[in-house]
C-alpha cells in the first residue's frame, strides 16, 4: 500500500511539474527543447536521421545539382530509407529538394550543420488550430513542422507543379520547402515532417509578427494575453496599418496575385501571408543605394533569373570580378546580415529558368521582365525580404495544404449560417484567393 501511495505521489508530482513547465514555456513562446521536454527524444532522432541522410547525399558521387529540366518523374517519386538502431528514417524526393536548396544558394554542409547541430531545437508554441508541432533550428534559420499523411501525399503529388512555379517565378513569395522526411519507431505511428526556410530570418530586430488570411472572423490576437515575446498577431490587429513599399508595392501585389492563382489551381484555401518588419538602420538606408550594393543586388537578382553565359553573356560590370569587389567592400551595419565568404568569388547558384526566345512577342518580354525586375537584398533569406523606404519587411505565403474537399464544403455551409454576412476563412478557393489579394492591395502603399 505504501509503495502504491509513493508511486501515485511521484506520478502526481511529475504531472504537476510537467504542467508547470508547459505554462512557463507557453509564456516564453519560444524555448529550447532540452532533456526535460516531451519532444527531446523525437528531435534527437530527427537530428541524427537528417545528419545521416544529408551526409549520404553529400558523399554520393554525381553532379552537384540537377536543374528542373534534368529532374525526371522518378526523382519526384523516389524514397530512400536508412535503418538506424532504434528507428528508420525515410527521405522523399531527395534530389528534387536538393536542387531547390542549390537554387537558393544553401550550401549542403551548412544545411546539415544547422539541422544536426548539438544545440537544442527550439519549439514554437503556435496559436494555430493545427495539430502540427513546430520546431526551429537553434540558429532560427530553418523551420520544421510535423505533417499528417494526407498533407504529405498532397505535397508529393503537386511537387512538380510547385517546382515549375518557382522556376517560372523565382521571386515567388511561396515558402520554400527544403526537405520531406518520416521517422518510424517500432510499434509507434510513423511521423512525417517537412523542413522549410523560416520566413522570419534573421529575427533579431523583429518585434511583431502577423499571420494574415484576409478575413475577420477569429482573426484577432490579444497582444497582452500572454507574456510571450513571440506574438503572432492577425488580420484585425493590422487594421489601420500599411505595408509601405513605394515603387515596389505594385510588384508585391502582382506577385501575390500570381502565387494565389497557382494555389487556386491546386484547389486549396486557408493559407496565410506571414508578415513582419523592422526599421532600417541609417547605414542601411544609405548603403542600399550605394553603387557597390546595387551591383551585388543586381547580380543576385540576375542570378535568380539564371541566363546562361553562352546564350546571354553578362555585362563585364556584373561579372565575377565585380561581384567579388562588391562582396568584399560593401559596408553593412552591425545588425545587417551580409553574405559570408562562401558567396565571394562566384556567382550565386540558382535554378535555371527558360528565358524568352529571340522570337518572343513584346507582351511576352514585358511579362518576363515584370516578374524578374525585383532587386534582391544582400540576404541569405532574400526571397522573403523586401526593403521599403524606412522598413525591412519579411513576407512569405505558408500553410498551403488545405484542400477544399467535402469536409471544408460542409464547414462553409455551417459558417454561412453561424456568421451571416461576415468574412470567415472557409470559403471556395476562388473566393479565398480574390479576398486575399484584395487585402494585400488595400494594405500596401
DSSP state, residue 118 = S
| pLDDT tens for each residue of the chain, 445 residues long | 444 444 444 555 555 554 544 444 443 456 889 898 999 999 999 999 999 999 988 887 655 566 777 899 999 999 999 999 999 999 999 999 999 999 898 999 999 999 999 999 998 776 556 678 999 999 999 999 999 999 999 999 999 999 999 999 999 999 999 999 999 999 999 999 999 999 999 888 888 899 999 988 888 888 776 555 567 899 899 989 999 999 889 999 999 999 999 999 999 999 999 999 999 887 677 655 555 555 555 555 655 555 444 444 333 322 333 232 223 333 333 333 333 333 333 333 343 445 556 566 767 666 665 555 577 777 788 899 999 999 999 999 999 999 999 988 888 788 877 788 777 788 999 999 999 999 999 999 9
| Cβ proximity of 292 and 325 under 8 Å | yes
Give per-residue pLDDT as tens, 19-56.
544 444 443 456 889 898 999 999 999 999 999 999 98
Taking the C-alpha atoms of residue 128 and residue 214, their distance in angstroms, rounded to an integer, is: 16
Give per-residue pLDDT as tens, 72-93.
999 999 999 999 999 999 999 9
C-alpha cell recorded at residue 267:
484547389
Give the residues across from 36 on adjacent strands: none
Please report the DSSP string for 350-367 in residue order: ----PPPPTT--HHHHHH
Q: Which residues contact 336 (CB under 8 A, 6 or more apart)?
A: 281, 283, 284, 287
Q: What is the pTM of this model?
A: 0.77
Closest CA to 88 of 96, 77, 80, 100: 80
Taking the C-alpha atoms of residue 430 and residue 345, their distance in angstroms, rounded to an integer, is: 46
Amino acid at each position: 500500500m505504501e509503495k502504491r501511495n509513493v508511486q501515485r505521489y511521484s506520478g502526481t508530482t511529475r504531472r504537476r511539474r510537467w504542467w508547470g513547465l508547459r505554462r512557463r514555456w507557453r509564456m516564453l513562446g519560444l524555448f529550447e527543447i532540452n532533456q526535460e521536454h516531451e519532444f527531446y527524444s523525437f528531435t534527437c532522432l530527427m537530428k541524427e536521421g537528417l545528419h545521416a541522410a544529408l551526409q549520404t547525399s553529400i558523399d554520393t558521387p554525381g553532379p552537384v545539382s540537377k536543374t528542373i529540366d534534368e529532374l525526371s518523374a522518378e526523382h519526384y517519386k523516389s524514397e530512400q530509407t536508412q535503418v538506424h538502431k532504434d528507428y528508420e528514417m525515410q527521405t522523399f524526393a531527395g534530389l528534387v529538394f536538393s536542387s531547390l536548396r542549390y537554387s537558393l544558394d544553401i550550401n549542403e554542409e551548412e544545411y546539415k550543420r544547422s539541422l544536426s547541430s548539438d544545440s537544442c531545437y527550439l519549439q514554437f508554441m503556435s496559436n494555430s488550430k493545427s495539430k502540427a508541432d513546430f520546431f526551429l533550428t537553434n540558429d532560427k534559420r530553418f523551420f520544421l513542422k510535423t505533417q499528417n499523411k494526407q498533407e504529405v501525399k498532397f505535397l508529393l503529388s503537386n511537387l512538380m507543379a510547385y517546382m515549375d512555379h518557382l522556376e517560372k517565378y523565382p521571386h515567388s513569395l511561396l515558402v520554400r520547402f527544403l526537405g520531406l522526411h518520416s521517422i518510424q519507431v517500432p510499434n509507434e505511428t510513423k511521423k512525417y515532417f517537412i523542413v522549410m526556410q523560416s520566413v522570419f530570418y534573421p529575427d533579431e530586430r523583429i518585434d511583431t509578427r502577423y499571420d494574415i488570411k484576409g478575413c475577420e472572423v477569429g482573426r484577432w490576437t490579444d497582444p497582452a494575453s500572454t507574456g510571450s515575446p513571440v506574438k503572432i498577431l492577425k488580420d484585425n490587429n493590422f487594421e489601420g496599418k500599411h505595408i509601405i513599399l513605394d515603387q515596389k508595392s505594385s510588384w508585391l501585389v502582382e506577385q501575390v496575385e500570381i502565387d494565389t492563382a497557382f494555389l487556386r489551381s491546386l484547389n486549396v484555401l486557408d493559407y496565410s501571408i506571414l508578415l513582419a518588419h523592422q526599421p532600417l538602420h541609417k547605414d542601411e538606408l544609405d548603403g542600399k543605394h550605394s553603387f557597390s550594393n546595387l551591383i551585388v543586388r543586381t547580380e543576385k537578382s540576375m542570378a535568380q533569373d539564371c541566363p546562361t553565359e553562352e546564350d546571354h553573356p553578362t555585362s563585364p560590370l556584373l561579372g565575377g570580378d565585380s561581384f567579388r569587389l562588391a562582396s568584399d567592400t560593401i559596408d553593412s551595419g552591425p545588425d545587417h546580415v551580409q553574405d559570408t565568404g562562401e558567396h565571394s568569388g562566384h556567382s550565386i547558384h540558382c535554378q535555371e529558368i527558360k528565358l524568352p526566345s529571340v522570337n518572343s512577342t513584346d507582351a511576352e518580354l514585358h511579362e518576363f521582365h515584370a516578374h524578374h525586375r525585383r532587386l534582391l537584398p544582400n540576404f541569405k533569406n532574400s526571397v522573403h525580404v523586401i526593403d521599403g523606404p524606412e522598413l525591412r519587411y519579411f513576407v512569405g505565403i505558408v500553410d498551403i495544404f488545405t484542400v477544399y474537399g467535402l469536409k471544408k464544403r460542409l464547414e462553409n455551409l455551417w459558417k454561412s449560417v453561424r456568421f451571416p454576412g461576415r468574412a470567415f476563412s472557409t470559403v471556395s478557393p476562388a473566393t479565398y484567393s480574390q479576398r486575399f489579394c484584395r487585402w494585400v492591395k488595400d494594405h500596401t502603399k
